Amino acid sequence: PFNSAFAPGAKKFDFDINQVSISESRKKAVAFSSGYYDVRQAVVALKSSKAAGAKSVADLKKVKLGAQVGTTSLDFINDLVKPDTKPAVYQRNDFAKSALKTGQVDAIVVDLPTAFYITGAEVPEAEVVGQFPNSDDKPEQFGLVLDKESTLT
């Protein structure tokens, strides 16, 4: 599972390249390569959803959002959107996508590359409602995950 890659302890790999965002909390347990991709968070909703018409972060406060546990997408919901309703949290993005398809949530928040894949290949009745810019001083970046004591960094 996604979270096990950056959980404390020995790793069963030399490095993991799995769309993992570099964060200070994750750096406590693992080492990262230099960032290799600037990533943005995106909102995905069914075209028929009330979230589909959102034009601002304020509009998202009123809808039911979902995201995978332990992700920067969930952090984005809690720290920036601050929705009126507690977000739904899923163990895997597949579960979040199922919740979106069945109307359990109005929208999900995922990394932008994932949003394009979801809307282009997995849930064609969904659309990318919006993407959010990174902070100018510190963009969110993907990095290779390595063991904390790796000699590769």
| Same domain, yes or no: 23 and 82 | no
| Same domain, yes or no: 79 and 16 | no
| Same domain, yes or no: 83 and 24 | no
153: in domain: no
| Same domain, yes or no: 50 and 91 | yes
Domain harbouring 117, CATH code: 3.40.190.10
Give the ranges where 6-151 is alpha helix by DSSP (H): 24-27, 57-60, 72-76, 93-101, 112-117
| Same domain, yes or no: 110 and 127 | yes
**β-pairing verdict for 141-142 and 37-38:** antiparallel
152: in domain: no
| Same domain, yes or no: 32 and 46 | no
Calpha distance 22→142 (Å, rounded): 6
Tell me the residue range of the domain where 109 lies: 40-132
6: in domain: yes
Query: Model confidence over 68-77: pLDDT tens digits?
Result: 999 999 999 9
Band (pLDDT 50/70/90 cuts) for residue 66 is very high
Band (pLDDT 50/70/90 cuts) for residue 135 is low
Calpha distance 6→22 (Å, rounded): 10
| Same domain, yes or no: 112 and 127 | yes
| Same domain, yes or no: 73 and 13 | no
pTM summary value: 0.86
| Same domain, yes or no: 46 and 106 | yes
Q: Which two tokens stand for residue 59?
A: 């509009």
Calpha distance 119→113 (Å, rounded): 10
Count of CB atoms within 10 A of residue 101's CB? 14
Q: Considering its fold, how many domains does the chain have in total?
A: 2
Q: Which residue shows structure tokens 């894949």?
A: 117
Query: Model confidence over 107-126: pLDDT tens digits?
Result: 999 999 999 999 999 999 99
67: in domain: yes
Count of CB atoms within 10 A of residue 37's CB? 13
Q: What pLDDT, on the 0 to 100 scale, is given for residue 136?
A: 66
Residues 6+ apart with CB under 8 A from 111: 19, 21, 39, 40, 41, 42, 72, 73
Calpha distance 145→108 (Å, rounded): 25
Calpha distance 25→16 (Å, rounded): 17
